[in-house]
Amino acid sequence: MAITDDSVVPDYAGLIRLDGKSVVVLGAGQGIGRQATHAAAAVGARVACVDADIARAQSVADELGGCAFAADAMRAEEMESVLGQAARALGKIDALIDIIGMPRYVPIMEMSDADWDFQLDISLRQAFHALRAGGKLMRESGGGAMVFVSSISGIMGAPRHSAYGAAKAGLNSLIRSAATEMARYQIRVNGVAPGLIWTPRIAGSMQTDALAAAKKSIPLRRPGQPSEIASALLFMISDLSAYITGQTLVVDGGASVGFPINMGAGPGVSK
């Protein structure tokens, strides 16, 4: 017996659009942050660029007709202030993208308390500040979406990644808890966990032999591009992901899905 499906077919292309929406990007001055601002603007959003360096923020804002602000994201009062300024400049905040974070790769037995504190501050504390301040503003305006850049270091283990991985694992947990609390206000909270991404910082610091070794561990045999993370971030703040909250999407070229022990190439598997 045939079953007739007469359900409405959405305008899928339209669901990615952000026309009339206001987006704030934290860490917008370069790399993934710069690409994320362009991704949002390309589908109609008005964008506020926030960076620790006002010159970098202004440079990106000038590329797409946005507005620029500077703040130390690790200070709660500055986060509250800059998001308030952005909300007033844009009318409200419909979406917040937070890409702030910087690893310090130090062995546990050589790590100082300052190294540990820095990693948790820049990867986790600032995200808490953004969640709290951004959540209050979105609650007042009827909801929105927030997405945070995590890392596969928060899911997998690696030498010298202990502080960075612990902070990103904490961020993943924070995302889950925030999603359960904020859903009642129509606020979605998600994350994107990149693997090796060819940002300007990585491109300027990674040795050729280290890059060659890294490529061998990635099934797609290359590092990702900042634009590919920006694409995932855009998906998470658009209505294409309207039924997704509390999740962290891994975007790593397959690096975290392989068998951890090298068993050699099997049938149909290229070395």
* Known catalytic membership, residue 185: no
Could you tell me which residues come within 8 angstroms of residue 52 by beta carbon, excluding any fewer than 6 positions away?
29, 70, 71, 72, 73
Question: Among the options 12, 105, 164, 243, which is catalytic?
Answer: 164
Distance from C-alpha of 222 to C-alpha of 214, rounded to nearest angstrom? 8
**The token pair that represents 114 in the structure block:** 């300052």
Task: Judge contact between 131 and 147, C-beta under 8 A.
Answer: no
Distances from the Cα of 8 to the Cα of 5, 12, 114, 206, 240, angstroms: 9, 11, 56, 50, 15
User: Which residues sit opposite 98 in a β-bridge?
Assistant: 26, 148
User: Which residues sit opposite 67 in a β-bridge?
Assistant: 48
Closest residue by Cα to residue 145 from 175, 91, 187: 187
Closest residue by Cα to residue 48 from 1, 3, 97, 12: 97
Distance from C-alpha of 228 to C-alpha of 72, rounded to nearest angstrom? 27
Active site residues: 164
